[in-house]
Amino acid sequence: MTQQELATIALIDKQLAAYNARDIEAFAATYHDEVEISSFSGGLLYRGKAKLIEHYGAKFASLTYLHATSLQRMVSGNYLVDHELAQSSELPSLTVTRSIKIIAAYEVEAGLIRRVTFMR
């Protein structure tokens, strides 16, 4: 495995840990200021760290539980594709109310996540 691949894996792992902790500051710190978030079938959803913070900040605040796990991973240089299981709850009991499997394709640029494409 190359140094670039190890750095890419470390960054995505850091991003997942911040996501699971619902730590918007640590989560946003892993993203490029001009990040692009897309859906494979729907195209560009939004651009920029401010929109990312708005979107995920609201999500983190509204949930009592949030956890994503990489089920399968492929990495090549600055690209990483995860098959992820994401579970969440808005209930005080933390009972999982939503569980989805999703593919997330990440592109890393200058040590930050520059693009993410989600596929469902």
- Map out the domains of the chain with their CATH numbers: 3-119 (3.10.450.50)
To 5 degrees, how large is the angle CA 62–CA 21–CA 3? Answer: 135
Taking the C-alpha atoms of residue 65 and residue 31, their distance in angstroms, rounded to an integer, is 22
Q: How many CA atoms lie within 13 A of 104 on its CB side?
A: 22
Give the CA radius of gyration of the chain: 14
91 pLDDT tier (thresholds 50, 70, 90): very high
Q: Read off the pLDDT of residues 92-112 as tens digits, 9 standing for 90 and up.
A: 888 999 999 999 999 999 999
Query: How much is the mean pLDDT over the chain?
Result: 96
Is the Cβ–Cβ distance between 65 and 96 less than 8 Å? yes
Question: Is residue 35 scored above 90 in pLDDT?
Answer: yes
41 pLDDT tier (thresholds 50, 70, 90): confident
Question: Is residue 120 scored above 90 in pLDDT?
Answer: no
- What is residue 25's predicted lDDT score, i.e. its pLDDT? 98
